[in-house]
Amino acid sequence: MYLPKSPIVRPFLTFAVLCLALYSLLAHWEQFGGPGPHLPGASEKQVIFQASHNHDDMHAKPGTGTHGGVVPGGDHGYHGAPPPPPKPSESASKPNSTLGKPIMASTGYERRVVAHFMLGNTYPFTEKNWEDTFDLAEAHGLDGLALNLGPEDWQLTQARVAYDLASRRHDSPKAGRKPIELFFSLDMNVLAHQEWHDATSLGDKIAPLLASKGQMMRGAQPILSTFGGHDAYFGARGWKGFLVHLSNQLRRYRVEHAFFWPSFFMPPQKFIDLPFVEGTFAWNNAWPKHSRLTLKEDNPFMGKDKPYMAAISPLFFTHYGKTGEWAFDKNFIYPSDNMLYPSRWAEFMALNEGDGPEMVQIISWNDYGESHAIAPSIGAQPGSEAWTNRMDHVAFLEMTKYFADRWRNGAPEVGDEIVFWMWYRTHPKDLVIADDPIGRPDNADMAMDLLNFVALIPEGMDRPMLMLSIGKEKHPVQLVPGRFTALRFPFTTGPVHFKIESAKGLHLRGAGHHIEDATYLKAYNFNMWSGAWHAKV
């Protein structure tokens, strides 16, 4: 390129060329909601995107106890012990004085965020376990829990304990917190639904709880959901007959008929058109079936007369075999490596304020068998210890509060502390583990060997810099103060370390889970490990 030799003109032209080059580079960076990044190899640089709550400025199958284990007793054989699981931040449990007024959905109701909760994993629960669960859920931005109910009597007994406690918290809420509320998700994959007495028995059991103070309501109606069941027969009377019977039972408690908000697996318009369905919930929309998840599958449900409950989940991996105590024969993944959790939230945040779902359901709070539990393990695992033990999900728990507060209440994008969340699988997808009797999971080739992280950097920090080390690779990243920044790097085997510095010096330093090769592994694990770190500036 020719540049004039004039000492006056030349600097201005040089500056213009640099600006043009920078614009060209920025134009190729991915924004939320755009196509997935092209990441063919570990030599490529990171892809960056940033999410703003300003919608015009967007940067950057089932059984009891599991919606579905591996043969129990297996050991992952980690190369050394992983770091101690980070605890949820103290700031996450404090009342947030910066929250705005609740944002209203187009239906005229306030937005709410709930999480799917497996009663089938609560066999050993005490009331103290329920108390701790509700404390954690309230502290991390949840309005309610959808209790997945199976056929065992002890599940209903645990549900009664939960409802009783929720009712007491309703009368005496903890300072600064909205008390947790509950509703049932009837697991129709395992609940009997052929005969009419199946309907009357079920309705008689749940009616007193739907009428209690701990029940989540929509207006004057108690919410009732399902997992599947569009074909429930109930002695030829179907759901219409069941709901009439339930209404008759609820009248005894001076409660209106239930607001039926199921998750049916059927074409959207047929689902919406069912006259007895008052709200829709599309469970499978939480995960991409190929590589990148968009709102294409959600759009048919939004903007309708019936409210939509959107499914959001951080990942999906299950590793059950065909023999043994936990012979569920479920061994597959859904692609989850490419910023699934924050990008799914951002898709809904990018919609106009009156658009989108009325409610978000997180899948899940405690479904360990499918690896998407955001909460620590409490209770009984359904044979899933081999791929969940030592695989902390604290980052998903904290991100739930962050996004729930922003989507529901318009909370600020960044607060007054540094926050760093990191999550990734702990071995490459192409690794061959010959000793695993269950075998490589289906869809494993769709996984992407990516380390994901989010950094929240307070406004005003001077030259914040992240240094990330993955194996032998080192990645320096200039962070942006006052913004939510999410990035991905291709990973290689080896240790994971990071530090965040600014002109003032070192602020944060931490270590992630070692990314393993085949030397010490005895089983495939496409679950993710996550960590969370915080520092005051």
The CATH number linked to 396 is 3.20.20.80
Co-location of 513 and 368 in the same domain: no
Co-location of 490 and 342 in the same domain: no
Co-location of 426 and 409 in the same domain: no
- What per-residue confidence (pLDDT) applies to 67? 52
- What per-residue confidence (pLDDT) applies to 2? 39
Question: What Rg value do the Cα atoms of the chain yield, rounded?
Answer: 24
Tally DSSP H helices, then E strands, for the chain: 9, 20
What is the residue-level pLDDT of the chain in tens, covering all 537 positions? 434 445 454 544 444 444 444 433 333 333 333 333 332 232 333 333 443 333 233 233 333 344 542 222 222 222 333 334 334 444 444 444 456 678 999 899 999 999 999 999 999 999 999 999 999 999 999 999 999 999 999 999 999 999 999 999 999 998 888 999 999 999 999 999 999 999 999 999 999 999 999 999 999 999 999 999 999 999 999 999 999 999 999 999 999 899 999 999 999 999 999 999 999 999 999 999 877 889 999 999 998 999 999 999 999 999 999 999 999 999 999 999 999 999 999 999 999 887 899 999 999 999 999 999 999 999 998 899 999 999 999 999 999 999 999 999 999 999 999 999 999 999 999 999 999 999 999 999 999 999 999 999 999 999 999 999 999 999 999 999 999 999 999 999 999 999 999 999 999 999 999 999 999 999 999 999 999 999 999
Does 82 map to a domain? no
Co-location of 363 and 454 in the same domain: no
Does 62 map to a domain? no
| DSSP conformation class of 121 | G
3-class DSSP string for 407-446 = HHHCCCCCCCEEEEEEEEECCCCCCCCCCCCCCCCECHHH
Residue ending a domain, among 357, 383, 413, is 413
Within a 13 Å sphere around the CA of 188, how many CA atoms are in the beta-carbon half?
20
Neighbouring CB atoms inside 10 A of 433's CB total 17
Tell me the C-alpha distance between 180 and 143, whole Å: 5
Nearest one of 421, 411, 399 to 487, comparing CA atoms: 421
Co-location of 193 and 330 in the same domain: yes
Does 10 map to a domain? no
Does 63 map to a domain? no
Q: Are 431 and 518 in contact (CB under 8 A)?
A: yes
Does 471 map to a domain? yes
- What per-residue confidence (pLDDT) applies to 93? 40
Residue ending a domain, among 383, 413, 443, is 413
For residue 513, report the phi and psi dihedrals to the nearest 5 degrees: -75, 135
- What per-residue confidence (pLDDT) applies to 99? 62
Does 22 map to a domain? no
Full residue range of the structural domain in which residue 368 is found: 92-413
Residue ending a domain, among 356, 378, 413, is 413
- What per-residue confidence (pLDDT) applies to 143? 98
Does 331 map to a domain? yes
Co-location of 386 and 510 in the same domain: no
Co-location of 265 and 367 in the same domain: yes
Domains: count for the chain: 2
**Cα angle 497-499-505, degrees, rounded to a multiple of 5:** 155
Co-location of 258 and 160 in the same domain: yes
Co-location of 105 and 39 in the same domain: no
Tell me the C-alpha distance between 279 and 416, whole Å: 39
Co-location of 231 and 102 in the same domain: yes
Co-location of 334 and 469 in the same domain: no
Tell me the C-alpha distance between 220 and 31, whole Å: 41
Does 12 map to a domain? no
Co-location of 387 and 513 in the same domain: no
Q: Cα dist. 481→421, 435, 457, 459, 460 in Å?
A: 16, 47, 5, 5, 6
- What per-residue confidence (pLDDT) applies to 310? 99
